[in-house]
């Protein structure tokens, strides 16, 4: 976060943002008695410090804890050991952290730090992707997802749908509140990324009613119900598709190509000796069963140009070869 604070904007400095996070944690009700050994806000701030310092493990963070820097930088009175941290944080519902994400976002918005993140026509690029952050064959809880293997063994896991504003020219990203992918108590049916994405977009709008976004996701998200959800919440989208998973769409593009309705665009970057090639089709049907869901399709190839010694591109010894498979 510190990277995007321009000089002179004190309320966007790392210190100010850490204080804001701390205040947010202070407002989370502590479920333990007031005489708990270490305050919940100190435990949460310590966990935040661990990620902020990119500590490779709880053990490594324990070392930093002993050296004393985290107290002053993060305003922590007492830093818990890893066991105590787990005991206090495990029972917390992830949703209690939402106001902290929102308050940091508001601060960035007020400080105009989001202006640099605008990607296209006043819209921000919002990347969504599922990730697994815990798995075990022995340790599990009621909220664990479970994968039953052929030999009958079970892998337990926790996943989440991560969300962040990104920009190709900015190193910093701005994370939004992720959506946990976890089973509700008493249900056997696994939660999944698709359901999490639906919940995510429904919760996004109350927190950010005016945020203009282009959602970008992998091909798992290119399904009609999800696209309809995005449209319902006034979100634009750039989603991946795969020929193997979206056969109907690719067949339609092929048919349109034969009918001469596909457009091509090619750009030579002579300095980099690369040719960028695109083909696109507007308003193609995503699949046969939901033909009313129309999408704009774009396919891209990148080719490297090898020139002959004389630099003549029409010489038979010059050639172009694909650098990347079409995406």
Do residues 174 and 117 make contact, with C-beta atoms less than 8 angstroms apart?
yes
Residue 132 beta carbon to Zn ion: minimum distance, rounded to whole angstroms: 12
Residue 86 beta carbon to Zn ion: minimum distance, rounded to whole angstroms: 12
Nearer to Zn ion, 114 or 143 (CB): 143
Nearer to Zn ion, 139 or 271 (CB): 139
Pairwise CA distance, residues 327 & 324, whole Å: 8
Q: Residue from 117, 144, 201, 204 that binds Zn ion (CB under 5 A)?
A: 144
Pairwise CA distance, residues 207 & 106, whole Å: 10
Nearer to Zn ion, 158 or 303 (CB): 158
Nearer to Zn ion, 24 or 130 (CB): 130
Question: What is the number of other CB atoms lying within 10 angstroms of the CB of residue 219?
Answer: 15
Q: Which stretch binds Zn ion (CB under 5 A): 36-44, 137-145, 200-208, 306-314?
A: 137-145
Pairwise CA distance, residues 236 & 228, whole Å: 11
Nearer to Zn ion, 5 or 144 (CB): 144
How many residues of this chain interact with Zn ion, rule: CB under 5 A? 3
Residue 129 beta carbon to Zn ion: minimum distance, rounded to whole angstroms: 21
CA atoms within 13 A on the CB side of 54: 0
Q: Which stretch binds Zn ion (CB under 5 A): 6-14, 39-47, 139-147, 209-217?
A: 139-147
Q: What angle do CA 78, 82, 85 make, to 5 degrees?
A: 65
Do residues 215 and 126 make contact, with C-beta atoms less than 8 angstroms apart?
yes
Residue 89 beta carbon to Zn ion: minimum distance, rounded to whole angstroms: 13
Residue 243 beta carbon to Zn ion: minimum distance, rounded to whole angstroms: 36
Q: Residue from 141, 202, 255, 291 that binds Zn ion (CB under 5 A)?
A: 141
The encoded tokens of residue 113 equal 């730090």
Q: Which stretch binds Zn ion (CB under 5 A): 63-71, 99-107, 142-150, 290-298?
A: 142-150
Residue 179 beta carbon to Zn ion: minimum distance, rounded to whole angstroms: 16
φ and ψ at residue 100, rounded to 5 degrees: -70, -45
DSSP string, 65-134: HHHTHHHHHHT-SSPPPHHHHHHHHTTS-GGGGHHHHHHHHHHHHHTTTTGGGEEETTEEEEEEEEEEEE
User: Is 181 one of the binding residues for Zn ion (CB under 5 A)?
Assistant: no
Q: What is the CA radius of gyration of the chain?
A: 25
Q: Which stretch binds Zn ion (CB under 5 A): 66-74, 124-132, 133-141, 200-208?
A: 133-141
Q: Which stretch binds Zn ion (CB under 5 A): 40-48, 136-144, 206-214, 313-321?
A: 136-144
Q: Which stretch binds Zn ion (CB under 5 A): 140-148, 196-204, 226-234, 300-308?
A: 140-148
Residue 88 beta carbon to Zn ion: minimum distance, rounded to whole angstroms: 17
DSSP string, 259-280: TT--EEEEEEETTTTEEEEEEE
List CB contacts of 68: < 8 A, sequence separation 6 or more.
none
What does the binding site for Zn ion look like in residue numbers (CB under 5 A)?
141, 143-144
């Amino acid at each position: 976060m510190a990277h995007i604070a321009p000089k002179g904007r004190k309320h966007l400095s790392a210190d100010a943002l850490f204080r804001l996070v701390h205040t947010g944690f202070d407002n989370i009700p502590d479920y333990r008695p007031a005489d708990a050994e270490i305050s919940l806000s100190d435990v949460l701030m310590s966990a935040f410090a661990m990620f902020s310092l990119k500590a490779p493990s709880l053990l490594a963070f324990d070392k930093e804890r002993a050296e004393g820097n985290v107290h002053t930088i993060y305003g922590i009175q007492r830093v818990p050991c890893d066991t105590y941290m787990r005991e206090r944080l495990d029972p917390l519902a992830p949703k209690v952290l939402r106001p902290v994400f929102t308050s940091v976002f508001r601060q960035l918005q007020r400080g105009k730090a989001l202006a640099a993140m605008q990607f296209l026509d006043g819209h921000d690029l919002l990347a969504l992707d599922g990730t697994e952050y815990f798995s075990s064959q022995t340790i599990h809880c009621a909220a664990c997802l479970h994968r039953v293997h052929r030999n009958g063994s079970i892998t337990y896991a926790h996943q989440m749908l991560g969300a962040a504003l990104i920009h190709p020219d900015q190193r910093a990203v701005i994370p939004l509140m992720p959506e946990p992918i976890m089973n509700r108590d008493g249900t056997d049916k696994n939660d999944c990324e698709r359901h999490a994405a639906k919940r995510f977009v429904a919760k996004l709008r109350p927190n950010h009613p005016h945020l203009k976004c282009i959602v970008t996701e992998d091909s798992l998200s290119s399904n009609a119900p999800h696209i309809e959800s995005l449209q319902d919440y006034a979100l634009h989208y750039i989603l991946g598709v795969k020929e193997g998973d979206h056969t109907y769409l690719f067949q339609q593009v092929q048919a349109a190509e034969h009918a001469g309705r596909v457009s091509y665009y090619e750009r030579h970057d002579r300095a980099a000796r690369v040719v960028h090639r695109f083909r696109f089709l507007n308003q193609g049907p995503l699949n046969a069963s939901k033909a009313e869901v129309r999408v704009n399709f774009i396919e891209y190839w990148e080719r490297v140009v090898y020139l002959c010694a004389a630099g003549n591109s029409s010489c038979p010894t010059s050639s172009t070869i694909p650098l990347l498979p079409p995406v």
